[in-house]
Structure 1
Amino acid sequence: MTIKAIIKSLAICAIAGGVALQSAQARDLRLAPGVPPVHPAHTPLYTEFVTALAEESDGRLGGQIMGTEIASLGNMRTAIRSGLVEAGLLLPAYFPADLPNFNLIGDMALLGTNSFAMNGAVTEYIATCEACQQEFSRLGMVYTSTHTTDVYHLLTNRPVTTVADLRGMRMRVGGPQYSRWLEAMGGTPASTPVGETFESLSQGVIDGSIASSADIISFRLEDAIDYLTYIGLGTFHSTTSHAVGQAVWNSLSAEDREAVARASTRASALATQRWAYEMPAEADQVARNSGIEILEADESLHEATRRFAEEDLIYAAEQAESRYGVSDAAAKLERFQELVEKWNGIVEEVGEDPEAIAEAINREVWDQVDFSSYGT
């Protein structure tokens, strides 16, 4: 073998050894989205999170995605606290008594008119809300970012365009404000798990669901509903995209904690892009191909919704204080409204682009955080 060939061979071995060493040193976190792969909270929220973790940490961190048989949305709190899951999708609306301060602003669905803006507003609010941070600490978890759905509409097996059409209808709801809205319109809310929507509709247990039209794809509802009514009932933003277990967080360096937060923010922006912008267009086509009639809510229903939203701000603050002991709820809601306006402006400035939104959140939120103490 020539000297040149020997040098080349040694170089290849060195590179291979370096890659193997880096791979051996990489730490794969056990990740649980709690939803099936077709759902945007799995793909891209978790698939892209794995990629972003490696990039943001220079290969020190990675992830292994676990299925719903390991951890579902309903038992995610227990799965993370026990250490079975090291980072998972936590929906605060499932645990109102544990996260009342988060749910105070998560409950304000009707404030959401732009999904990307709600990513920024919620992330900034929770990251800088002392009471919210204390709630996560008591649960043994750390907050990293939020993703947001498309604005919600009505997916039903009866036509709905007016307030009168909603009277007597039993519908699945995804949060307290939707329950209050439906009751104000004369309907009855049902706390049906989202994964059981198809079965409940098919069996006539419920008459419809207040949800993103993307649910037609995510939960195969094209054979369970006959009507899709556009009304725009705000966004579902009561989400913690990747809630990290306290023990895991404590074991990470400040640099790697920041990498997790930035990776989470990137994945959340991509999930919002998928959920709020791409899937609704696909769902519309699926609906049309399946013979689902697409309707528009009339002005009377829009006006009734606007009146409800104004009055509900006061009611929500009172309920949060009296039922869950949230202090200064009205002032907290006012601050959140200000952040929503701020982020609506930022989105207008940078555009509805997931990379630009993630960069803005990193600049406005995570660049201001001391990761040597955040979450500890």
Structure 2
Amino acid sequence: MQCPECVEQNLAQNQIGLAFAPGSQFSLLCKEPISSVADVRGRAIRGPVSVFRRWAETMGASPITISANEVFDGLNQGLVDCTINAVGEMSNLSLFDVVGGITPGMPGGTFGGSGIGQLNLDFWLSLSLEDRKAVARGMSKATAFMVTGYMKQEVIDLQTARDQGIAIVESDPDLKSATEAFIKDDIETIKAIYRDDFGLEKVDEKVETFIGLLEKWKALTDPLDPTDTEALTELYWTEIHSKLNLETYGLN
């Protein structure tokens, strides 16, 4: 709806994009509790993507790159002090035996690159209008299911952590302020990456559009129970999939 270039790039691969889903906010999952800039400084922190490695370096930590499958061994053997992941990965990666402290929502952010609604273009165009609508509705539900699934798992894993004596700590004001400053400064880095490395045009305009959409969706989702799949499904349908012109989407 906001990025015709994205649609065109998908079409060039004989695909059409109908849904993309993030997980829950990234948090610090550490061998011991961490809540301040001083706590972070000097630590070896595994960042799943470059923005989190830049955050770690800015905070005075040593950014580490290992795959998710290596996180358990990395923490267990002392190769890393923390990993930045969604809290729900405590179960997914079996981290309860190697994590001693969780700092929820720090540094924040999420992974939004899961293309759960990528369809073959020929298949999409072969569908009747009624069937396309059914698929689009299904994409609203699939996206909501994934998002709320992560949120439900976070609730479960936080309680399991408490039951096992793992400390759940809040980041202090200095760490929050330092992180907010990093986010503002890093916008320019992100612009440069997309402009210089990927040849994206009108980067400033796209960033402004994204920030506006972020604020819009914060306002739309804040009143919702983050584990309510049906409510989020209806929101996605109302705000996104019902607004697509299903007769022409994929033909442009």
TM-score between both structures, scaled by the size of structure 1: 0.61
Amino acid aligned to 1:345: A
Q: Find runs of 4+ consecutive structure 1 residues off by over 6 angstroms.
A: none
Q: Percent identity?
A: 29
Q: Which residue of 2 aligns with 1:360?
A: 235
Q: Which residue of 2 aligns with 1:184?
A: 58
Contact 1:172/1:210 (8 A) holds in 2? yes
Q: Which residue of 1 aligns with 2:83?
A: 209
Q: What is the CA–CA distance in structure 1 between the aligned matches of 2:102 and 2:242, rounded to whole Å?
A: 42
Determine which of 113, 127, 130 is the counterpart of 1:238.
113
Q: What is the CA–CA distance in structure 2 between the aligned matches of 1:201 and 1:241, rounded to whole Å?
A: 30
Contact 1:201/1:224 (8 A) holds in 2? yes
Is residue 270 from structure 1 mapped to residue 145 from structure 2 by the alignment?
Answer: yes
Cα deviation code 1:223-244 (max 9, x no counterpart): 1222212344133323222322
* CA RMSD in angstroms, aligned pairs only: 2.2
- Structure 1 residues 9-88: aligned runs within 5 Å: none
Amino acid aligned to 1:328: K
Is residue 294 from structure 1 mapped to residue 158 from structure 2 by the alignment?
Answer: no
Counterparts in 2 of 1:248 and 1:185: CA distance versus 1, 3 Å: same
Determine which of 126, 133, 139 is the counterpart of 1:258.
133
Q: Structure 1 stretches of 5 or more lacking a match?
A: 1-126
Counterparts in 2 of 1:347 and 1:229: CA distance versus 1, 3 Å: closer
Q: Which residue of 1 aligns with 2:184?
A: 310
Report which structure shows greater RCO (CA 8 Å, sep ≥6): 2
Amino acid aligned to 1:137: L
Contact 2:140/2:241 (8 A) holds in 1? no
Contact 2:34/2:171 (8 A) holds in 1? yes
Structure 2 counterpart SS, 1:221: coil
Contact 1:255/1:371 (8 A) holds in 2? no
Contact 1:143/1:375 (8 A) holds in 2? no
Determine which of 101, 114, 121 is the counterpart of 1:227.
101
Cα deviation code 1:154-210 (max 9, x no counterpart): 001143222222233232223332122112112233333323322332233322211
Q: What is the CA–CA distance in structure 2 between the aligned matches of 1:360 and 1:152, rounded to whole Å?
A: 23
Structure 1 counterpart SS, 2:232: helix
Q: Structure 2 stretches of 5 or more lacking a match?
A: none
Is residue 323 from structure 1 mapped to residue 205 from structure 2 by the alignment?
Answer: no
Structure 2 counterpart SS, 1:220: coil
Is residue 279 from structure 1 mapped to residue 149 from structure 2 by the alignment?
Answer: no
Paired residues, number: 249
The offset of 1:308, in angstroms, is 0.7
TM-score between both structures, scaled by the size of structure 2: 0.88
